[in-house]
A and B are shown apart, each in its own frame.
Chain A
Amino acid sequence: MPIPLDYYLILSAALFTIGVVGVLIKRNPIVIFMCVELMLNAVNLTFVAFSRYHNDIGGQMMVIFVMAVAAAEVAVGLGILVSIFRNRASINVDEIDLMKG
């Protein structure tokens, strides 16, 4: 008997929530980015699990696109971080409030 689909779904829900809690409690933008990656990975796990249990390869296609978008997002995000650090010499997310009205 194989592992039920629900186990994978619950595991990825837990991973996703760990990512959300990390975004809430961390103040270092790099660690916040890592938590976003964790959330994306949780969603990928869901996609692959559904893809296998419903025998539809579309889920795995979506995972490939999510990975490409994640790579693009990390490149742009870290570029923004480098330029913020160059201008302000501090990257605590609480101090970055330039656009606050």
Chain B
Amino acid sequence: MTGQLLFFAFLAAVTIVCGIAMILADNPVRSALYLVLVLFSVALLFLTLHAVFIAAVQIIVYAGAIMVLFIFVIMLLNLGTPERIVDRLKPQQALGPVLGVVFVILLAFIISSLPTGRQQPLSNTLTGPYEIGMSLFTANWIFPFEIVSILLLVAAVGAVMLAKKRI
């Protein structure tokens, strides 16, 4: 019981610290590596929620494919050097973090006062590929699945259109 809570606290601390380090890092490559850490710990949080398949997809798609894309573009555009842009001192740079802290505190108050439902999970089954597949391909989700496949096709064509020098 306390073991679960300790593990959750550890994961939450890693996630928050790496997230803050990500937005404080000057070097985009470091930001990307901190983001990988955040994604891995969110995948572990999915595991604590018994969502096995989602955790695996999180690691494969986010920490694998999307991060490779990011690193590749950083390399391609030679953005690995730290930002040396001298910003005009914008109010958002000072106000943003302060308002962020206020926002988190407000949200925490609201969440803890809401009746968010059960404090106990209803069942203890794992959600593996079988359950996901049964729900995705037989029940109500087959139509959104087809739509998403069209969206991915459009995005692939669009990305090539945008990035190519001459069509």
When the two chains form their complex, are residues A41 and B38 in contact, meaning their CB atoms are under 8 A apart? yes
Give the complex CA separation of A22 and B103 in angstroms.
Answer: 14
Q: Which residues of B contact A24 (CB under 8 A)?
A: 92-93, 96, 100
Interface size class of B (residues with CB under 8 A): 35 or more
Contact among A5, A51, A65 with B118 in the assembled complex (CB-CB below 8 Å): A5
Give the complex CA separation of A81 and B42 in angstroms.
Answer: 27
When the two chains form their complex, are residues A52 and B107 in contact, meaning their CB atoms are under 8 A apart? no
Give the total of A residues in contact with B, Cβ under 8 Å.
71
Contact string against A for B residues 70-86, beta-carbon threshold 8 Å, 1 for contact and 0 otherwise: 10011011010001010
When the two chains form their complex, are residues B119 and A27 in contact, meaning their CB atoms are under 8 A apart? no
When the two chains form their complex, are residues A68 and B151 in contact, meaning their CB atoms are under 8 A apart? yes
Contact among B62, B79, B99, B121 with A2 in the assembled complex (CB-CB below 8 Å): B121
Q: How far is the CB of A85 from chain B (nearest CB, A)?
A: 5
When the two chains form their complex, are residues A83 and B49 in contact, meaning their CB atoms are under 8 A apart? no
Q: Which residues of A contact B131 (CB under 8 A)?
A: 57
* A71 CB-CB contact with B under 8 Å: yes
Q: Which residues of A contact B74 (CB under 8 A)?
A: 30
Q: Which residues of B contact A33 (CB under 8 A)?
A: 70
Give the complex CA separation of A85 and B141 in angstroms.
Answer: 39
Give chain B interface residues in 47-78, CB to chain A under 8 Å. Answer: 48-51, 53-54, 57-58, 61-62, 65-66, 69-70, 73-74, 76-77
Binding site for A on B (CB under 8 A): 1, 4-5, 8, 12, 15-16, 19-20, 22-23, 28, 31-32, 35, 38-39, 42, 45-46, 48-51, 53-54, 57-58, 61-62, 65-66, 69-70, 73-74, 76-77, 79, 83, 85, 87-88, 92-93, 96-97, 99-100, 103-104, 107-108, 111-112, 116-123, 127, 131-132, 135-136, 141, 144, 148, 151-152, 154-156, 158-163, 165
25 contacts between A and B (CB under 8 A): A2-B120, A3-B4, A6-B116, A10-B108, A11-B15, A13-B108, A14-B104, A15-B16, A18-B22, A20-B103, A21-B97, A27-B87, A34-B22, A38-B19, A38-B35, A51-B127, A52-B49, A52-B127, A53-B118, A54-B122, A67-B61, A68-B152, A78-B73, A78-B163, A79-B158
